[in-house]
Amino acid sequence: MSLLKIIELSSKLPNKKAVFALNRVPMRDTLVYLFCLFFFLFLPYTFLNMMDVYENAISKSQLVLQSIIFYPFFMMFLVIVSISMLAAIATLFRFILSRKLAYQQLWKMSAYAILWPFILYQITLFLPISNYVGLAVSFGIYAYLMWRMILIYPRRKKK
């Protein structure tokens, strides 16, 4: 599935058709989507901060080298860890709602549910409000989307 189609479907969440279509996306495409999302959303803010911090400390060629080598590896690590933590939170929602979902499904659902919270958080970084407010609102949107997406799946049978 193309990256643009994945972005279109994840922007439509918690729509039932979008949830099921995104669960059929291969994990390779999911990871490409996540790396692109993190890279493009955090790139402007990261470079602005790096330019301020390193303005006098290192040369511009060293800054470019660090950005080319270390930034992608840091982003890969950040993607895997953050989505795994969000999927753990979604696992709690699954237990509360007693739904039939595996961790792998919750991981993918978490990966696609972060589009709007991340965009909103990046916008709040440039506004004169606290980062904590932006983080709380973004997490609230993520929790709402995950709750609604988990409700789509059938209940667990009582034993």
Q: What is residue 1's predicted lDDT score, i.e. its pLDDT?
A: 79
Query: In whole angstroms, what is the distance from residue 153 CA to residue 136 CA?
Result: 26
Quote the pTM value. Answer: 0.83
CB 108 within 8 Å of CB 23: yes
Containing structural domain, residue 91 = 3-152
Q: Is 10 exposed, middle or buried (0-12, 13-18, 19+ CB in 10 A)?
A: buried
Largest CA-CA distance found in the chain, in angstroms, rounded? 66
CB atoms within 10 A of CB 121: 21
Query: In whole angstroms, what is the distance from residue 81 CA to residue 95 CA?
Result: 21
Asked whether residue 158 is assigned to any structural domain, the reply reads no
Q: What is residue 149's predicted lDDT score, i.e. its pLDDT?
A: 96
Q: How many helices (H) and strands (E) does the chain have?
A: 7, 0
Q: What is residue 12's predicted lDDT score, i.e. its pLDDT?
A: 95
CB 42 within 8 Å of CB 75: yes
Q: Which residues on neighbouring strands pair with residue 99, listed in sequence order?
A: 155
Asked whether residue 91 is assigned to any structural domain, the reply reads yes
Asked whether residue 25 is assigned to any structural domain, the reply reads yes
- Averaged over successive runs of 10 residues, the pLDDT of the chain (159 residues) comes to 92 94 94 87 66 62 73 83 96 94 95 94 87 92 96 84
Asked whether residue 141 is assigned to any structural domain, the reply reads yes
Q: What is residue 41's predicted lDDT score, i.e. its pLDDT?
A: 77
Q: What is residue 68's predicted lDDT score, i.e. its pLDDT?
A: 74
The domain total for the chain is 1
Asked whether residue 157 is assigned to any structural domain, the reply reads no
Asked whether residue 159 is assigned to any structural domain, the reply reads no
Asked whether residue 115 is assigned to any structural domain, the reply reads yes
